[in-house]
Structure 1
Amino acid sequence: MEILRYAAFTERPDGGNPAGVVLDADGLTSGEMQAVAADLGYAESAFLSRRRPGSATVRYFAPEAEIPFCGHATIATGVALAERDGPGTLALSTSVGVLALTTARVDGRLVASLETVEPWVDTMDPGRRADLLRHLRLAEDDLSADLPVLLSFAGNVHPIVPVRDAGVLRALDYDYDGLRALMAAEGWGATVAVVHRLAPDVFEARNPFPPGGVREDPATGSAAASLGAYLRARGEVVPPGVLTVHQGADVGRPSLITVGIPATGGLTVSGGAVRIAA
């Protein structure tokens, strides 16, 4: 078994979000995949099986649990495959549906793009909202006056929590155990997207990830897609549009995620990835 290591949504090995990638996982059990992910300690790792020309199946594991969908590990997988087989398009079967994964050379580097499943956006129960803010250690006056706290799905359910300014985002220091318990009770298996708007189509984000056993995710493709769905549902962007999300600087791994927002349907998450030495 060859375990590849890539940093996604970056052009440098010490940036972005690291992911493990196993391109031939047909002989691995779920327990063995979980053990590999735990040993790597990355936010997620991707395991491909049933590879055929133009298609494959993928499963994602965080250090402590299997995750339905992961954006950055998918981007890493796309670049890893393109480096071996050349750019192209792959129908990737995941537990949330079939995704189109496309790679191309852009300005001399490989860029991968995935199209998400159909997103949705919903309100949050007031009690759960209060619990969420309590565990994030955020007060009402820490929040954006213009953008509400909502749930958004584009492969994973992400609470979207817009805050009023960069100072609140920088100071984020949440209750890990309390947030972990709340997310488990609610079935929120990915990250909470705490975001701050820099421009109409530019945000910075921090993403606590206790369900996966990770304090903070450096780059979260599924959360960026969910933020794009949130903005589209609220009429905050005019499709077709492009959302840029800066993430990871607060944990020393700056990343850049691009989300294409069409008028309807799934969103397109794009980024590069670079190999990390073992």
Structure 2
Amino acid sequence: MKTYFVDAFTHQPFKGNPAAVCLPERDLEADTMQQIAMEIGFSETAFIKPLAAGTYSIRFFTPKKEIPLCGHATLAASKIIFETTTLQEIVFINCEAVRLPIGKADNKIVMQFPVYETAALEVPNALLDALGIDAPINTRYSTKNKIILIEIQHAAVLAGLAPDFVALVQSYTDINGVLVTAQGNTADVDFHYRYFWPWAGTNEDPVTGGVQTFLTKYWAEKLHKNKLNAFQSSLRTGSMTTELINNQVLIYGEAVTLFEGIFKIDTGL
């Protein structure tokens, strides 16, 4: 099985968020894809299969479970298709039959994702304590994504968070993760964020595109602008531009291909 490693949401190797992109030559069972994702160990591994000219199915697996939508692995898969074919536009279809049109603009890959709503949520003190947060500005919940959103006052505080992940998992159940965000403190960044998801994936996702399905709308309404620059202040760091257009969000990003090889899936599976 042809397999690629791609650093997404960056133009520099060893930055952004690494994803694996797998191109199986035959259908694989979900258990096999899960084992492969566990073996690779990245926050997401994408499996893509051509369905028609320019249209591909895409499935995403963390080391723990399959998830329906992932921004950085979609970007990574797009990067590989654009590098290995002459296509300029493609469409991915995920496990929920959601269409994800992909194109190019200004030397960046542009992904079109749906927009999901958030609702007010009271967050327990135990969760805030585990994150190291004293006084959040706002707390909301994305039901579709099963992600808690917490806005705090300062981007510098956000960058310095060092969660207690054991306590964090014990503080809340039946969610995929917690996203903490703060308004940008420089002219070139509108908002910062970090995403912690030990419930469904890894302790921290280095750069997360899928959360823009609700985070872009949150900041667009708050800042009264539809096109925004986002920075994920994880250890690896990463950046993207997003644009809210009606009930869709455009995510503009770059990616770097680091590895190309063969995964020998017929031995022992």
Shorter-chain-normalised TM-score: which range?
0.7 to 0.9
Query: Within 2, Cα distance between the matches of 1:268 and 1:182?
Result: 33
Cα distance 1:40–1:138, how it changes in 2: closer, same or farther (>3 A)? same
Runs of 5+ consecutive residues of structure 1 not aligned to the other structure: none
Query: Within 2, Cα distance between the matches of 1:261 and 1:86?
Result: 29
1:149 aligns with 2:131: no
1:256 aligns with 2:256: no
Query: Within 1, Cα distance between the matches of 2:142 and 2:98?
Result: 19
Cα distance 1:26–1:12, how it changes in 2: closer, same or farther (>3 A)? same
Query: Within 1, Cα distance between the matches of 2:81 and 2:69?
Result: 18
TM-score by length of 2: 0.86
Query: Within 2, Cα distance between the matches of 1:103 and 1:25?
Result: 25
Runs of 5+ consecutive residues of structure 2 not aligned to the other structure: 261-269
- Find the partner of 2:194 among 206, 229, 232: 206
Provide the identity percentage. 25
How big is each residue's C-alpha offset from its partner over 1:184-209, in whole Å with a ceiling of 9 and x where there is no partner? x33x22x3221121159611222112
Query: Within 2, Cα distance between the matches of 1:212 and 1:93?
Result: 22
Alignment of 1:53-68 (within 5 A): 53-68=53-68
Check whether the contact 2:124–2:171 (CA below 8 A) recurs between aligned residues.
no
Cα distance 1:121–1:81, how it changes in 2: closer, same or farther (>3 A)? same
Secondary structure at 1:192 match in 2? strand
Cα distance 1:34–1:214, how it changes in 2: closer, same or farther (>3 A)? same
How far is the alpha carbon of 1:210 from its aligned partner?
A: 0.6
Cα distance 1:52–1:258, how it changes in 2: closer, same or farther (>3 A)? same
How far is the alpha carbon of 1:88 from its aligned partner?
A: 2.6
Query: Within 2, Cα distance between the matches of 1:15 and 1:25?
Result: 30
How big is each residue's C-alpha offset from its partner over 1:1-57, in whole Å with a ceiling of 9 and x where there is no partner? 011110000011211100000133642111111111111111101111353213221
More helix by share: 1
Cα distance 1:23–1:134, how it changes in 2: closer, same or farther (>3 A)? same
Query: Within 2, Cα distance between the matches of 1:226 and 1:129?
Result: 22
Moved over 6 A (4+): none
TM-score by length of 1: 0.83
Secondary structure at 2:254 match in 1? strand
Cα distance 1:162–1:41, how it changes in 2: closer, same or farther (>3 A)? same
Query: Within 1, Cα distance between the matches of 2:150 and 2:25?
Result: 36
Query: Within 1, Cα distance between the matches of 2:24 and 2:49?
Result: 6
Query: Within 2, Cα distance between the matches of 1:97 and 1:202?
Result: 32
Q: CA RMSD in A?
A: 2.3
Alignment of 1:50-199 (within 5 A): 50-104=50-104, 106-107=106-107, 111-124=108-121, 126=122, 128-140=123-135, 143-144=136-137, 148-152=138-142, 156-182=145-171, 185-186=173-174, 188-189=175-176, 191-198=177-184
Residues paired across the two proteins, number: 258
Secondary structure at 1:222 match in 2? coil
Check whether the contact 1:132–1:182 (CA below 8 A) recurs between aligned residues.
yes
